[in-house]
Amino acid sequence: GAGVSQTPSNKVTEKGKYVELRCDPISGHTALYWYRQSLGQGPEFLIYFQGTGAADDSGLPNDRFFAVRPEGSVSTLKIQRTERGDSAVYLCASSPVTGTEQFFGPGTRLTVL
């Protein structure tokens, strides 16, 4: 069956621009997670959703980062006024319910010039 998909696979933007990264979880999975992975590092937790609500957003680095999941399926990670330090691979994962195995997508590589 279809796994977690993320679009775009690559995004190049200029400093100061706004970007949206999309995650399509596995159908029926109620929990959805966003992570950021810098080169040579492990994934860093950003936020997770249980259904439509953000259950824990303690990993969002600052108020330029925001994520939504309005219908409890697709999620969008939004980054305002991008900075060069935001360059990383943004990973999305979903699980059937919170606390069970997370299935990761391939990530979106964001480059801020």
Partner 1 sequence: GQQLNQSPQSMFIQEGEDVSMNCTSSSIFNTWLWYKQDPGEGPVLLIALYKAGELTSNGRLTAQFGITRKDSFLNISASIPSDVGIYFCAGHTGGFKTIFGAGTRLFVKA
Site for partner 1, rule CB under 8 A = 4, 31, 33, 35, 40-45, 48, 55-56, 58-59, 91, 93, 98-99, 101-102, 104-107
Find out whether 11 and 108 touch, Cβ atoms under 8 Å.
Answer: yes
Nearer residue to partner 1 within complex by CB, 43 or 88 = 43
Q: How far is the CB of 15 from partner 1 (least distance, A)?
A: 26
Nearer residue to partner 1 within complex by CB, 16 or 105 = 105
Kind and range of the H or E run holding 46: strand 44-50
Nearer residue to partner 1 within complex by CB, 8 or 106 = 106
Find out whether 26 and 1 touch, Cβ atoms under 8 Å.
Answer: yes
Q: How far is the CB of 13 from partner 1 (least distance, A)?
A: 20
Find out whether 69 and 52 touch, Cβ atoms under 8 Å.
Answer: yes
Helix ranges, the chain (H)? none
